[in-house]
Structure 1
Amino acid sequence: MPVSLVILAAGQGTRMNSDLPKVLHQVAAAPLLHHAMQAGLSLDPEKLVVVTGHGAEAVAKAARAYDARCDTVMQAEQLGTGHAVAQAMPLLAGMAGDCFVLYGDTPFIRPETLEAMLAARARHAVVVLGFEARDPGRYGRLIAEGEALQRIVEFKDATDEERAITLCNSGVICADTAVLADLVSAIGNSNAAGEYYLTDIVEIARKRGLSAGVVICDEAETLGVNTRAQLAEAEAAFQARARAEALDNGVTLTAPETVFFALDTHVGRDAIIGPNVIFGPGVTIESGAEILAFCHLTGCHVSRGATVGPFARLRPGAELAEDVHVGNFVEIKNAILDEGVKVGHLTYLGDADVGEHTNIGAGTVTCNYDGVNKHRTKIGKRAFIGSDTMLVAPVTVGDGAMTGSGSVITENVPAEAVALGRAKQVTKPGLAPKLFDMYKAAKAKRQKDQA
């Protein structure tokens, strides 16, 4: 049965005290919106519509960056959740199957929970996701008898008796797409806020003889982000979940509370992650690799048996093959390191290709930027790059070649050649004591003049 998704992402989020649209604030190095999209896309939907509003252009761009197939529609006036869903309905005209309504500021709904809602659709025309709240606060209350949902009451409109109920509304709804469109079109705004509440579809459905049901999830899944404090709580919740999943999947975390994952981090079984490691977006660590302490990785791939760090940085485009070693204070950017390459320390490799089993000496720099354009450095197999070598790109060092320490290499080096590009050393016997005496006399004179 096909599935459609509507994700509501129009809110300004005034309590965030920010010019940035609320759904673009980040948890785990990804916008909140991407978390909601990831959960919904687990259902393999045929259609995805993101409803934008505040910062519509930026939100639409972020949505398409995650899934280019999604459609966006703008809610020009913020007249409530029912009104927001109504904006999406024309884009779903003629779609068969069920439709989910999710929220761009609610990042932790699990795919398993959405599957449970789909299963409940076999018994009910409308299914609402609820949770038992420790502190119900201003959440809408679910008036239910067992699984059967009678109605949803917004806090503003609830009686004292209804406010005592702890079964609360998450806002997530599933219904047949055509039925949802029909119910949404019947929503009115005769309430304390004068808004069109999506939650009213439950009462409308029951009046038409349609059943409504509730699926209950853990309260942690329904965490919404409306303030900076809640954003910090969401980050902590994500990291706790990600660390637990990594450990369960056979990853060693020597100090789990100090490791920070991104939304799309992939770490293979038997990998070892040391303390204070931060993963940015787009990182894959294969099984058996080791990331030592205080490393920062973004947009890179680390293969089986490779070691990184401590104190290393891998930037976008870094590709480390099997058994590569990247040591302390090394930065790799847009570079491919073939099997067995060793880059021990204090090195920058940017826009480079390094052949298998090549050794890169300390202090090596690929000088890849001329102030306007980037250029590539190519180093062959089993080459030896001496310490403090400056490789001025574009330049090629052949297989088995060697550069002398302190060289500035501006021309291609043939295979198995040795290249030296440094000034000739001049030695003056016996001059050192004379220079020291001269320096001391000059210093003494300065001190006397200043007295």
Structure 2
Amino acid sequence: MNNLAAVILAAGKGTRMKSNIVKVMHPLGGLPMVSWPVNTVREAGASRIVLVTGHQSEKVQDFFEGQTDVRFAVQEEQLGTGHAVACALPALLGFSGMVLILCGDVPLISTATLEAMVRQHRSRHAVITVLTADFAQPNGYGRIVKDGDGFIKRIVEEKDATDAERRITEINSGIYCVESDFLTVAIPNLKNDNAQREYYLTDIIKEAANLGLLCQAFPVADPAEVMGINDRAQLAEAGQLLRGRINKALMLAGTTLIDPLTTYIDQGVRIGRDTTIHPNVHISGDTEIGNNCLIEPSAVIKGCKIGNGVIIKTGSVMMDAVIHDDVAIGPMAHLRPGTELKEHVKIGNFVETKKIVMGEGSKASHLTYLGDAAIGTNVNIGCGTITCNYDGVKKHRTVIGDDVFVGSDVQFVAPVTIGRNSLIAAGTTVTRDVPPDSLAIARAPQVNKEGWKLKKK
């Protein structure tokens, strides 16, 4: 929709968040709060998006770097919403059409609502359409004042409202659709003669009404969509609502969530059909999970690529790992970045991996650390095995060939290479390469002192 642009107001600090981080950059469902309205207007068809920043503008702009449809305007002083839009006007030069105006702290607005609002705006040839909601207790919100025909005459802020106006329950959501030609004329005419000494964007409605131009309301079906976030309690409430949307979409697409209320999945995570996820699982980042997987309670998965038929057992933690089909992990395993497990690998309880590739059919069943290693196919790693990859200065690699059997309590002092089909005896500390088809054993001989216990008595 080339004749649709958007302005998103994100310059405020958000003092009620009690944070060193600007409000709109607080994470919500895996994304900064301001990302939600940006993505929504993009999905609604906005071809040009102007983000008005102020506090910590560099942090906000850095996040959107490379998103070519996003332009920036800086509001050095926060002098009201009208002033913020005035700061955005230079970035709209050359544009003609409809302009959506939203706040960066209203993340729950849906694409469908914005699309319906734009359709009504266009079909009725309105100059301004205001998204409204009906609140039984509208404290803190601007009120919608209409004429006898039901069109908007003005929006009055609560601090400037009369007692009669404060009894109005239809409120201003702060979301507008405005014709650009009118916007560019009306914004420079705003005055700050109000209780706050600010330039109110809402005053353009009164100007349009005085000119006999059509200003209409578009009531939102779900008032939760216009919920603003001012503190961490509201942030948590919004997060719960967003997770509900994410989880519902996944379930409708074929994923089983045993308890959606205690399953925490971020926006952008992709999960295949017939995968079952148990309670208290956290999945975030650029994670993709295949079909027919089982994820048991309290697993934490971030930025992983997981194939089909994978079992992730209770309490396992995984980050930036690649898991191929039919792998079993855990319980209580820890897969760190750079881990790649080929088909039919088994990683058991209290096994930690980092920067390893483990070949098809290999297994490390318990109590093991494998780091900076290449492990072949059908390798058995015994309990208590460690790849000693750090010499105090540099990291070194361990290479283990196919069909190697590693006994319990083995240490590989890297760099070292183990040839295929070798056997490493339990208790061995490997400091040299082992040829293929060999037995490596390096431990002190056993000494039995007969009668020692009787002498001690």
Q: TM-score range by the shorter chain?
A: 0.7 to 0.9
- Residue 379 in 1 paired to residue 375 in 2? yes
Deviations 1:409-448 (A, max 9, x none): 221223333345434153232569639x85xx9xxxxxxx
SS, match of residue 362 in structure 1? strand
**8 Å contact kept, 2:280–2:297:** yes
User: Offset at 1:81?
Assistant: 0.6
Give the equivalent residue in structure 1 for 2:421.
416
Alpha-carbon distance in 2 for matches of 1:260, 1:184: 43
Which of 200, 204, 221 is residue 201 of structure 1 equivalent to?
204
> What amino acid does structure 2 have at the position aligned with 1:256?
P
**8 Å contact kept, 2:47–2:69:** no
- Residue 396 in 1 paired to residue 386 in 2? no
SS, match of residue 106 in structure 2? coil
Alpha-carbon distance in 2 for matches of 1:313, 1:431: 49
**8 Å contact kept, 1:30–1:281:** no
Alpha-carbon distance in 2 for matches of 1:133, 1:247: 31
> What amino acid does structure 1 have at the position aligned with 2:279?
P
Instruction: Show the 5 A alignment for 1:345-356.
Output: 345-356=349-360
Give the equivalent residue in structure 1 for 2:447.
428
Give the equivalent residue in structure 2 for 1:227.
231
User: Offset at 1:293?
Assistant: 0.6
Structure 1, 270-279 or 42-51: larger mean CA deviation: 42-51
Give the equivalent residue in structure 2 for 1:373.
none
- Structure 1 residues without counterparts, runs of 5 or longer: 368-375, 442-451
Give the equivalent residue in structure 2 for 1:263.
267
Q: 1:198 to 1:433 in 2, by over 3 A?
A: farther
Deviations 1:168-225 (A, max 9, x none): 1110112233432222222221222111111122222233333122222111011111
Give the equivalent residue in structure 2 for 1:113.
113
Give the equivalent residue in structure 1 for 2:56.
55
Give the equivalent residue in structure 2 for 1:280.
284
Alpha-carbon distance in 2 for matches of 1:35, 1:433: 75
> What amino acid does structure 2 have at the position aligned with 1:275?
P
Which of 123, 132, 135 is residue 134 of structure 2 equivalent to?
132
TM-score by length of 1: 0.88
Deviations 1:275-318 (A, max 9, x none): 21112332222232111011111111222211112110011x21
Alpha-carbon distance in 1 for matches of 2:317, 2:74: 40
TM-score by length of 2: 0.87
**8 Å contact kept, 1:120–1:213:** no
Alpha-carbon distance in 2 for matches of 1:147, 1:385: 76
SS, match of residue 204 in structure 1? helix
> What amino acid does structure 2 have at the position aligned with 1:25?
H
Q: 1:430 to 1:256 in 2, by over 3 A?
A: farther
> Between Structure 1 and Structure 2, how many residues are aligned?
428
User: Offset at 1:272?
Assistant: 0.7
Instruction: Show the 5 A alignment for 1:38-437.
Output: 38-64=39-65, 67=67, 69-122=69-122, 123=124, 124-144=126-146, 148-217=151-220, 218-315=222-319, 317-334=320-337, 335-367=339-371, 376-391=372-387, 392=389, 393-409=396-412, 410=414, 411-419=416-424, 421-422=428-429, 423-430=442-449, 434=453
Structure 1, 197-206 or 40-49: larger mean CA deviation: 40-49
SS, match of residue 348 in structure 1? strand
Deviations 1:228-250 (A, max 9, x none): 22222222322333333333333
**8 Å contact kept, 1:33–1:63:** no
Alpha-carbon distance in 2 for matches of 1:189, 1:134: 30
Where has structure 1 moved over 6 Å in runs of 4 or more? none
**8 Å contact kept, 1:361–1:388:** no
Q: 1:384 to 1:14 in 2, by over 3 A?
A: same
User: Offset at 1:404?
Assistant: 2.9
> What amino acid does structure 2 have at the position aligned with 1:412?
T
SS, match of residue 265 in structure 2? coil
Alpha-carbon distance in 1 for matches of 2:169, 2:334: 52
SS, match of residue 377 in structure 2? coil
User: Offset at 1:68?
Assistant: 6.0
For the aligned residue pairs, the C-alpha RMSD in angstroms reads 2.3
Q: 1:378 to 1:197 in 2, by over 3 A?
A: same
SS, match of residue 366 in structure 1? strand
> What amino acid does structure 1 have at the position aligned with 2:43?
S
Q: 1:61 to 1:412 in 2, by over 3 A?
A: same
> What amino acid does structure 2 have at the position aligned with 1:208?
L
Alpha-carbon distance in 1 for matches of 2:36, 2:267: 8
Structure 1, 111-120 or 391-400: larger mean CA deviation: 391-400
SS, match of residue 189 in structure 1? coil
Q: 1:183 to 1:338 in 2, by over 3 A?
A: farther
Give the equivalent residue in structure 2 for 1:448.
none
**8 Å contact kept, 2:274–2:292:** yes
Give the equivalent residue in structure 2 for 1:371.
none
- Structure 2 residues without counterparts, runs of 5 or longer: 390-395, 430-441
> What amino acid does structure 2 have at the position aligned with 1:116?
A
**8 Å contact kept, 1:338–1:357:** yes
Deviations 1:325-357 (A, max 9, x none): 111111112222222221122111111222222
Alpha-carbon distance in 1 for matches of 2:150, 2:362: 65
Q: 1:136 to 1:431 in 2, by over 3 A?
A: farther
Alpha-carbon distance in 1 for matches of 2:49, 2:407: 58
User: Offset at 1:396?
Assistant: 2.2
Alpha-carbon distance in 2 for matches of 1:221, 1:101: 15
Q: 1:419 to 1:92 in 2, by over 3 A?
A: farther
**8 Å contact kept, 1:15–1:227:** yes
Alpha-carbon distance in 2 for matches of 1:338, 1:68: 38
